[in-house]
A = this chain, B = another copy of it.
Amino acid sequence: MAEHRVYFAGHPQPVVVSTGTLISEAARLAGLDILQPCGGQGRCGRCAVLILAGTVRRRSTLRLSAEDVAQGFALACQTVVEGDCRVEIPPQEKVERRLTTDRTVAEVTPPVGYNFDLDQTIHRVHLTLPPPSMDDQTDDLSRLLTALRQQAGFTSVTVPLPMLRKMGGVLREGDWEVTAILDVRERFEGKLLEEWLIDLLPGHKPQDDPLWGAAIDIGTTTVTVWLVNLLNGEVVAQASEYNGQIARGEDVISRIVYASKDNGGEELRHLVLTTINDLLKTVCERYNRRKEEWQPPVTPQEIVKATVAGNSTMIHLFLGIPASSIRLSPFVTAVNHVPLLSGEESGLAIHPLGVVDCLPGVASYVGADITAGVYACGMDDTTRLTLFMDVGTNGEIVLGSSDWLVTCACSAGPAFEGAGVYCGMRATRGAIEEVWINGETYEPTYRVIGGGKPRGICGSGLISLLAEMFMTGVIDKGGNLNTSLPTPRIRQGEQGLEYVVAWAEETQTGKDITITHVDIDNLLRAKGAIYAGYNVLADSVGVPLEMIEQMIIGGSFGKYINVEKAIQIGLLPDIPWERFQFLGNTSVRGAYYALLDHHARERIKEIASRMTYIELSADNSFYEAFMSALFLPHTDLERFPSVAQALRSKAPVD
């Protein structure tokens, strides 16, 4: 057998190996350490190296994109030497970054061609009023309204009481020169254009002084706030925090139940308002620390417009509207299209007369987070058949394109958010977010958010763990633990059969971190519900899932999802990886677009109107699809050809 020289970058001496030697083996001979968490089965992709020159053969590129391969990447555990070659072992972070490139969330940039004057509902105008005199004793309000009409063309101005209180002082302080901030809004299905006076400031404020807006997403678990300069659309600060309601229930159902108790609704409203208002403070502080010294600082009270997205329950609870009908058949909301509110009415700590615009929802379980997400991902404006999924505490799915949109909500439950799972936790510091299991020793390797010892397993970690257990045979396609494997990690625990992911001495808690049989069942039900949702939607319009041209995954959870592993457990449909896009929080992104551009806001309203909602609990085919999806990856393995192939290729084939 021919011998070849393998040069490793940075190491002048080559190692000599025979044809067919794995690069990982060559590296070992050279005294170099290549991480192989999956035990060299080509599943984790962590052993990716760069072939700088020479002849190699990739037995599997499962974990690499076509682009990766084109750039020379190869998996050291799946690539054999077939001639002299030159190999670079990239630093581990670089590998990780490389491998997660396709999952990097798109940067937020203002919508192309954003024009404050044309697109924004908020207007700022300079007015110069003739001062009153003994010959002209017109009252201040009439004088102001005349100036607004004559100098700005605003003919239907509403002046709220607090502005009446402030007006006289401002007019005189500014010596009859003032700056007015107004929101121009359609009322009553566009019958009337009304201008709502938000504020009046003495003097003529510089036209490039920022005007502040906030895009807000109220998630069941996480609340996100973006601070936006409405003049140029720039997102100057972002912040997220757990929804303060969590302590009163992990999912929407338990929140609704809690809200139905005495003062429960008021308490939940107060909790989420505290969360949002703290975040508003945080984004302002972040901007103030970062801004140039000559720029004026901002406080939440200067935010003149906020758009709010969130699922229907979150919007109801935020507004103190009873949500109990959402939970009970026939599952209707109190309101899908919330009228515009003032800051004060809403309880948000923005300008008391600022505009609070809650985006419209479609149904009890398809809320404003989804309409905002559909807009944000552009699926209503493309001819490509698109499947959009927002994975949060619930899994909402939309299928369609510019022609039609169908949607449903799968009561996936909070399993993928780490709740309802024994060692589950949210995706925060100390959470195991990715797992590899060695296919020969059944020993796991894991990555912990923030490094250090683990405390539990978050959603992406659970998906990863489930996929690894399945691919290595720790569990079978029914999710049952294989007690015949030669490993102490599969054992009978207090909760029944379980697999030990981390021994007590490796953990922060000093207790074993395990996944139990019950956990596995919960996860199977959650993923089964979601997959059944795809099926019902696809069937409802007679389109096979394979025809999906792009799949867009929103939700902060989606940001960390490992596509390959999610396909392996049957959570995502088995379509080529390049068709997946991760947009992160599509809800806040949609709120951001609606904040800036009234055309976007109108389109979100149209989206809400034209989405066809399919109530799964009323759909006979759902139950059947759900039962079929309770397997790994599915009863029908033909639906998952890439998984079938990976299962076949587990044993290295030469």
Contacts and interface: CB of A to CB of B under 8 A. Distances in A.
Contacts of A161: 319-320, 339, 341, 345
A155 interface: yes
A167 B316 CA distance: 12
A314 to B, nearest CB: 15
B137 A331 contact: yes
B322 A168 contact: yes
A363 B194 CA distance: 27
A164 B332 contact: no
Given A164-B321, A321-B168, A187 B333 contact: no
Given A132-B332, A156-B188, A164-B338, 19 more contacts: A132-B330, A137-B363, A137-B615, A139-B333, A139-B335, A140-B333, A141-B337, A142-B337, A158-B339, A159-B339, A161-B339, A164-B335, A165-B320, A165-B322, A168-B325, A168-B334, A187-B194, A191-B192, A192-B192
Contacts of A325: 140, 168, 172
Contacts of A322: 165, 168-169
A140 to B, nearest CB: 5
Given A192-B192, A339-B159, A341-B161, A167 B132 contact: no
A426 B182 CA distance: 48
Given A139-B333, A164-B338, A319-B164, A187 B134 contact: no
Contacts of A329: 134
Interface string A179-192: 00000000110011
A302 B158 CA distance: 27
Nearest to A161: B345
Contacts of A334: 139-141, 164, 167-168
Contacts of A140: 325, 332-335
A142 B189 CA distance: 13
A615 B333 CA distance: 58
Contacts of A615: 134, 137
A120 interface: no
Quick one: which of A161, A333, A364 has the most chain B CB within 10 A? A161
A208 to B, nearest CB: 31
A161 B335 CA distance: 11
Given A137-B363, A363-B137, A165 B332 contact: no
A26 B335 CA distance: 87
A330 B137 contact: yes
A336 B337 CA distance: 35
A133 interface: yes
Interface in A127-180: 132-134, 136-142, 155-156, 158-159, 161, 164-165, 167-169, 172
Interface in A397-418: none
Interface residues of A, number: 51
Give 7 closest A-B pairs by Cβ, nearest first.
A156-B188, A141-B335, A168-B334, A139-B336, A139-B333, A134-B618, A132-B332
A613 interface: yes
Contacts of A168: 321-322, 324-325, 334
A329 B188 CA distance: 43
Interface in A610-641: 613, 615, 617-618
The copy count of this chain in the complex is 2
Contacts of A341: 161
Quick one: which of A321, A325, A363 has the most chain B CB within 10 A? A321
18 contacts: A132-B330, A134-B330, A139-B335, A140-B332, A140-B333, A140-B334, A140-B335, A141-B335, A141-B336, A142-B337, A159-B339, A161-B345, A164-B334, A165-B319, A165-B321, A168-B325, A191-B192, A192-B192
A385 B642 CA distance: 99
A452 B305 CA distance: 66
A617 B169 CA distance: 24
Contacts of A169: 322
Interface string A282-296: 000000000000000
B336 A142 contact: yes
Contacts of A336: 139, 141-142
Contacts of A155: 188
A613 to B, nearest CB: 7
A535 to B, nearest CB: 20
Contacts of A363: 137
A331 B140 CA distance: 11
Contacts of A191: 156, 192
Contacts of A136: 330
Contacts of A156: 187-188, 191
Nearest to A360: B139
Nearest to A335: B141
A74 B245 CA distance: 86
Interface in A289-322: 319-322
Nearest to A140: B334
Interface in A92-135: 132-134
Contacts of A139: 332-337
Interface in A38-86: none
A569 B333 CA distance: 72
A403 to B, nearest CB: 23
A188 B148 CA distance: 14
Nearest to A159: B339
A109 B28 CA distance: 106
Contacts of A345: 161
Contact of A192 (B137, B141, B165, B187): B187
A280 to B, nearest CB: 20
Contact of A332 (B137, B194, B339): B137
A158 B132 CA distance: 36
